[in-house]
Structure 1
């Protein structure tokens, strides 16, 4: 491994950052009984789709496999945040339907938990640095999702 290559270093640093952010999210979301990965799936479903998506559609936006989304969806279904049902037009396809329980995230204690999570994650950065980081991350994510990044 080339330790001088800045892209290799950045790639590794992003993995480490992902681990730290995941651990922080898990700790802060623990009172809601879900993990950071489960919460992220709920966010993807709330913000990424007008209609309940299929497992494959959700997996594409989330950036993981259909099997991983199925596993997360099953866990969220057991916790009451999600219902998984067969598509009426294609019985092979499973659709993910949010339940009313997702409104629990609008309760004051969960709003505070989110604020704490975001503050803990990004407090070292200025507003200008946050805007630039968002711009750069958006470029990377859109490129990996197969959309035009600009």
Structure 2
């Protein structure tokens, strides 16, 4: 996308939204049982699953509000992918545990996910990928600093 009267920062800003929307739309057709946002929460949950994270821990790791993550978790619980239960030592906290159905889902899509990622990152060499990763990490750091300023 090239617009002659716009600077690179504005183009990258817009492109991030465009890519996010396209990824979500494509992802919503990729999985039969879950949405892209639900899949992302399951992915983050899998990374944190060793200690059955709280809603707050999962929300922080996913970079989303507790309220949004709770709504996604409640939908995933209805579908049988997770169990939401009160913490044994602190009744104010809720912990999330993946169910066997979640593991079955992950296994069922393992090969298809690998193929999807290969297609998504086709024609992008390791140098470009590393540069992109550095840039996105710096954007994330900037957003975190900005959150502290504005919130």
| Superposed pair shares fold, TM > 0.5 | yes
| CA deviation map 1:101-149 (0-9, x unaligned) | 2222453x41122023212322241232223223332343355457xxx
- Decide whether aligned partners of structure 1 residues 12 and 67 sit closer, same or farther in structure 2, where only a CA change above 3 A counts: same
Query: Which residue of structure 1 aligns with residue 35 of structure 2?
Result: 35
How far apart, in 1, do the equivalents of 2:105 and 2:130 lie?
A: 25
Pairwise mapping of residues 127-146 of structure 1 onto structure 2 (< 5 A)? 127-141=126-140, 144=143
Between the aligned partners of 1:137 and 1:21, the Cα distance in structure 2 is: 16
| Number of equivalenced pairs | 141
| 1:94-113 superposed matches below 5 A | 94-107=94-107, 109-113=108-112
Distance 2:133 2:38 in 1: 22
The structure showing larger relative contact order (alpha-carbon pairs under 8 Å, at least 6 residues apart) is 1
Q: Which residue of 1 aligns with 2:117?
A: 118
CA distance in 1, matches of 2:144, 2:95: 20
Cα distance in structure 2, aligned partners of 1:143 and 1:59: 19
* Structure 2 stretches lacking a partner, 5+ long: 146-151
Once superposed, what is the RMSD of the aligned Cα atoms?
2.0
- If you compute each CA radius of gyration, which structure gives the higher value, 1 or 2? 2
Aligned with 1:50: secondary structure?
helix
Task: Spell out the pairing of 1:75-94 with structure 2 (5 A cutoff).
Answer: 75-94=75-94
Which consecutive unaligned segments of at least 5 residues does structure 1 have? none
